[in-house]
Structure formats: structure tokens, C-alpha cells
Amino acid sequence: MEKQGTIIKVSGPLVVAKNMEGARMYEVVRVSDHKLIGEIIGIDGDKASIQVYEETSGVGPGEPVYSTGETMTVELGPGLLQSIYDGIQRPLPLIQKQSGSYIKRGIDVPGLDREKRWEFKAVKNNGDRVVGGDIIGEVEETSLITHKIMVPPSISGTIKSIKNGSFNIEETIAVITDENGNENNVMMLQKWPIRNPRPVKEKAVPNRPLVSGTRILDTMFPLAKGGAGCIPGPFGAGKTVTQQTLAKYCDAQIIVYIGCGERGNEMTDVLMEFPELEDPNTGEKLMKRTVMVANTSNMPVAAREASIYTGVTIAEYFRDMGYSVALMADSTSRWAEALREMSGRLEEMPGEEGYPAYLGSRTAQFYERSGIVKCLGTDGNEGSLTIIGAVSPPGGDLSEPVTQNTLRVTKVFWGLDAKLAYRRHFPAVNWLSSYTLYMDNIKDYWDKEISPEFAQLRTEALGLLQEEAKLEEIVRLVGTEALSPKERLTLETAKSLREDFLFQNAFDKVDAFTPLKKQYWMLKSIMNVNHVAQRVIEGEDFNFDELLKLPVMERIVNAKNLGANAEDDYKKLWEDTEREILSLRKA
């Protein structure tokens, strides 16, 4: 490492150095003789502003800055899964072992194990022509996931040699001769700069849902695979539970979970809990298909800023293998605050609420890395990256800049509501304010795979819930007596929708996950009561108490306990509903 410049100012995580000629934006430098890890985020003449990812106390003017010549990159290759990294991809368990629970400064641990050997199975042969992104071999990384080894994006040519066997990630597994006759040694380890999206052949339009098993999300406000969604909510409304339920149950093959350091100890909770979670489909540990990026509370703010880029780059890498990947970031507000703090120290012109003017563009750049894509290789693989970001608006005020900027780029809004959480209605997603813009994208999938009736039932149900909110006003003023039988029925149906469909306990083994088809059956059971009852109540003196006492009503409350394949049971329920309700008809 070569000395490059001299520190002239230290302000928390920001260090300014002079004599930095030749420095490049986003270059990694080492700061002071502690060799603290920093990244150049501003250049002005021979002065460079450096964002330092470690505690800068005790560092002062006059101390050296060393150049590394590298940009901020992540290491990609076998060994990513099951890892827990800090914001700059240092494996947390390893640095803790080296330095105790309070991370020592200047510690240098590579993101991927250099010693470990992996069984590499070639899927291409000598003489095959390959381009960047082509899969040339496979490694059983965990019992759940096969890691596809790809030609790095910048390389193409003819395979001169490729071999099966046991290799570490730095050994040559293939040699590719390019057009000009140059030989490129390909190893399993690749590096990629975290701030640059990885290239794809093309982005496609999302056309199928990411199924999470949570009814209010999947049925009412579905998110598309390759889409972007946001979960804003005040403290205690259920952001973390929702993100974790998604991580556990959503039908993405790979999960990248970024903890941006919510409150003091929360990250430690996540770090303890997450590795214990079981993959409901296989009974194996969820970590076997998960990568975690976490900022512990003793890491400076700057690391939070990097963590979302580190996480999303890893997610893109798995997408490029043709996997469906879901990335959860909890909470992006902490990331935005880190941005604000650095911007303040850089003495930039502040925008709204002190956030930098580029908050909006940075937020967009992050979410725009989601998508359903044709992968770079010639195999025609398709991969997807779905991004779900939690936002914690102070005081639940959704007009604040982080929420607003996020809403501008995400197409799904799952608004968590403190009032619902207080009433213990979970998931506390507000059905009046939440929305999805993916309905048109996924409707064909619903029509074909679930039922042509599903979308219509959803629209009706949402309509009833909106109607309920209006009627509640009237009831508050003049009581239920003032309502027509039809309005009364609306209230009963809406109540049933809320209590028997939208309410869902994330901690109940059976209830936590409902397959999409079963969501349709449940919804239809409830809406069926409404439809049949409408035929009966018209123009008659209808007795609601009799309706509520019908045996089928109890069965609808318990419909969530019917099995995931119990189509016949649901059909029977619909028939019985019709028969019992019609029997109420006055002769």
C-alpha cells in the first residue's frame, strides 16, 4: 500500500485529505496508520473527501492516507450463502472471533473464504464458445442451492481448458481464449463494484406474483416478481415481522436480508433469530439460501450507506444465475439518515429536512436494480430480483422525504398502521391506504393459475372495505338502525373479511402461510355469503341474527384451518352456504 495523501480534517466518519492527485471517485483508501477502510466520495482539486467505515476517534490532521487502487467491490462466488456480513462485506462472525464483540479497527477479512475447497462440476467443454454470463460449471453450495459459476461479464471467447475437481475460489477452473488470442484464467471468485448495477441482456415486464403466503399482501396488494415494494410504518407496527415473514415464506429461491441497523439491540436480535429460522418448504435452515448484511450498532453510519449496495450487488449476482431473488432492506430510513449525516459533514446544500438533494435519485437507483431480466449468457436464463424496503417515518408521518421518495419509485405500498397494531390486528397493513400498481401485470397469471374470478372478488372485497369505512361514520352518528339491510350486509361482510381473511398470525404454524389458491378459496367463501345473502335480503325484512347463527358462518371463521389442498371442502362450504342462507327466505 502506497502513501498517497495527508489528512487535513476529521469530522466523524468524514475525513478530508490533501495531496490526493490521481484519486478516483469511489476508490477505496486506507486512513491513518490504523488503516481504517474508507471510500472517496468527493474530489476537489487535490483534496479528497473520504467516507470512513470505521470509528475515526483518535485520528487527526497530518496522518497519512494510503491508496489501494481498487474501487469498493464485493466478492462473489461460492461461500456467500449462509454468510452474515457487515456493510462492507466483512464476515461478522469471523471479525468477532478475531477481535471480540467490539469490532477492532482496520481489520481486514476477505468476504469469501480462500482456503475452503468446493467440488466444481464443469457443464461446458473444451472448445465451446462462451460469452459473459454463460454458466460454465456448478458447485453444490448448500443442500438447497446449486451455485452456478458464470463467465465474468467482460470476458468472451473459446474455452481452452476446463476441469472438474476440488478447487478453492482463487484457483483456475477454466481458461478462455478471447478473439485476440489472449488467455483469461477464470476462477470461481469474481469481484464487482457495488455502486454499478450488474449488466443484463434486457429487462422484461414483471408478469407473475411474488407469493408470500400473507393474505393481505398477496390477494389485496400483490407484488410482482422483479418488482419493488415499500413497507412504511411507525415503530412497533410490524415492519420487521413482515420482512421476516416474507423472507421465510415468499417464493423466491434466494433471500438477501439487509439490516440497516434499526435500533440499538434490534440488529443483534435479528442476527440471533435469523440463523434459527427454518425454511418451511424443506425443514432446513433458511440461512442455506440466505445472505445477510447487517450493521451492528457499533458500526459507524457510513457502513449503513454501503450496506444496501453490498446487498443488492450480491442479490444481482444470484439473479444472473437464473434464480429468483428477494431482497429485504430494514430499514432504509437508517440508510437515508447516514446519507444525510455525510452530506451535512460535506457541507452540501441541504434539501428537504436536511436530506441531500440527491436522496431521490439515490433511492431510485437502488430500487431500479430490481427487475425480471434475461440474463447475460446465451442460455436464455431468466432471473428476477424483487426489492422490498421498509421505511420508518418519524412519528408515522408519511409526508417525510424518505417515504415520499420511496413511494415515487416503488409500485407497491404496504402501509403499516399504528392504530391497527394497537388493536392487535396483524399484519397491521392498512387496507384503505395501501396499494399495488402490479394488478394489470399479474392478472393473466391469476386468471390462468388461480381462477378467472379471483381478480373480480378482490376488487369487490376492497370495495366493501372502503364502503365499511364510510358506513362506520354513519353508524357512529346515528347507530346501525339507520342502515338499510344491504348496508348492514356490507358491514357484516367487511367484518368477516377483516377478521377471517386479512387478520393473520405470523407466529401460528398453520396460519402463517396461505398458498395463493387457498387465499382465493377463503375469499370466495366470505364473498359467497355476501352474494347469496344479497339475493335473500332484497325487499324483505331480513333477520341478521338468524344469518349470523347459521352453522356455515362458524365454518367460514375456521376456513383458514382447512388444508392447502382442500378444494372439495371449500366447494362443499360454498354449496352449504347457499343452501343455508336461501333457507332463510321467508315463504
Residue numbers of the site for ligand ADP (CB under 6 A)? Answer: 233, 235-241, 421, 426-427, 505-507
Closest to ligand ADP by CB, 248 or 518: 248
**Minimal distance in Å, beta carbon 217 to ligand ADP?**
10
**Minimal distance in Å, beta carbon 414 to ligand ADP?**
12
Prior bond of 331 cis (ω within 30°): yes
Place of cell 403466503: 213
Phi, psi for 20 (deg, rounded to 5): -100, 30
All three cell numbers of 164, joined, read 472438474
Closest to ligand ADP by CB, 102 or 235: 235
Closest to ligand ADP by CB, 91 or 233: 233
Asked if 8 and 47 touch (Cβ cutoff 8 Å), the reply is: yes
CB neighbour burial string for 541-567, b if at least 16 within 10 angstroms, e if fewer: ebeeeebeebebbebbeebbebeeeee
Alpha helices, DSSP H, located in 143-224: 215
Closest to ligand ADP by CB, 279 or 511: 511
> How many C-beta atoms lie closer than 10 Å to residue 266's C-beta?
15
**Minimal distance in Å, beta carbon 236 to ligand ADP?**
5
Asked if 271 and 294 touch (Cβ cutoff 8 Å), the reply is: yes
Closest to ligand ADP by CB, 146 or 505: 505
* Pairwise CA distance, residues 458 & 475, whole Å: 25
* Pairwise CA distance, residues 401 & 309, whole Å: 20
User: Which parts of 123-156 are beta strand (E)?
Assistant: 129-130, 135-140, 146-150
**Minimal distance in Å, beta carbon 337 to ligand ADP?**
16
Closest to ligand ADP by CB, 156 or 296: 296
The alpha carbon torsion through 148, 149, 154, 160 (nearest 10 deg) reads -130
**Minimal distance in Å, beta carbon 245 to ligand ADP?**
6
**Minimal distance in Å, beta carbon 242 to ligand ADP?**
6
**Minimal distance in Å, beta carbon 505 to ligand ADP?**
5
Asked if 18 and 27 touch (Cβ cutoff 8 Å), the reply is: no
Closest to ligand ADP by CB, 206 or 232: 232
**Minimal distance in Å, beta carbon 411 to ligand ADP?**
22
Q: Which residue is nearest to ligand ADP (CB)?
A: 238
* Pairwise CA distance, residues 372 & 442, whole Å: 13
Closest to ligand ADP by CB, 176 or 220: 220
